[in-house]
Amino acid sequence: MYKKSFFIVFEGIEGSGKSYQARILYNKIKKLTKKVILTREPGGTKGAEIIRKIILKDYFEKNKKIKFDKYTDTLLYLAARNEHLKNKIIPAIKQKKIIICDRFIDSTLAYQVYGKKVSLAFIKNIHKQILKGIKPDITFVLKVKKQSFLKRLKKRKTKNRYDNFPTKFYLKAQNSFIKLSKNRRDHIVLESSENTPNLQRKIFQIIKKRTGLK
């Protein structure tokens, strides 16, 4: 068994299947060891989930253009991350657990930096304070075709503001995730237009090899 903690992140746009694949992987690993947690961003702890509700709520009053400034929005995400790190991620690392997280740093870069043009230096400065050098051991980026993610979003019974963006926004964000993965050994881009058992097996085999799980 892996003697250290192991930090796994799933990234991708809405409708890419990352939450689904993260849950499948968690259930598979749980059969082999109890030392595994499934978490998400924004959220993952009681305090961070409160911030998540503020962030993801459709903007406040219908038909009225009351919106947070992009830096206020970003600070809320980073505040949720700080709570998540201090109260869940860091304790799990100390307990040598396998951590599976739905979204992490790459989402901030894809959506806030590439998407909303928030200063990268601004985010890096805050990350320097809150991350304490913590980074994922492996990041799975799930790439999805346009017709697949649109179909999945349409099927969702409950939606937040991130499920209602224009198609071009998602395509741009997906390109950003792929760009962030380029030439990085800790990133693996996988086609997820069809959530097949083959994809689930592939992810599981990669993790088993990296962690020594049997």
Residue spans of the domains in the chain: they are 6-36+97-211
- Average confidence (pLDDT) over 106-134: 95
Task: Report residue 166: phi and psi, to 5°.
Answer: -65, 150
Please tell me the distance from the alpha carbon of residue 2 to that of residue 5, in angstroms, as a whole number. Answer: 7
Give this prediction's pTM.
0.90
Are 141 and 189 spatial neighbours (Cβ–Cβ below 8 Å)? yes
Please tell me the distance from the alpha carbon of residue 149 to that of residue 192, in angstroms, as a whole number. Answer: 10
Query: Residue 60: what pLDDT?
Result: 47
Are 54 and 76 spatial neighbours (Cβ–Cβ below 8 Å)? yes
Query: Residue 94: what pLDDT?
Result: 96
- Average confidence (pLDDT) over 116-124: 96
Class of 6-36+97-211 in CATH: alpha beta
How many CB atoms neighbour CB 84 within 10 A?
26
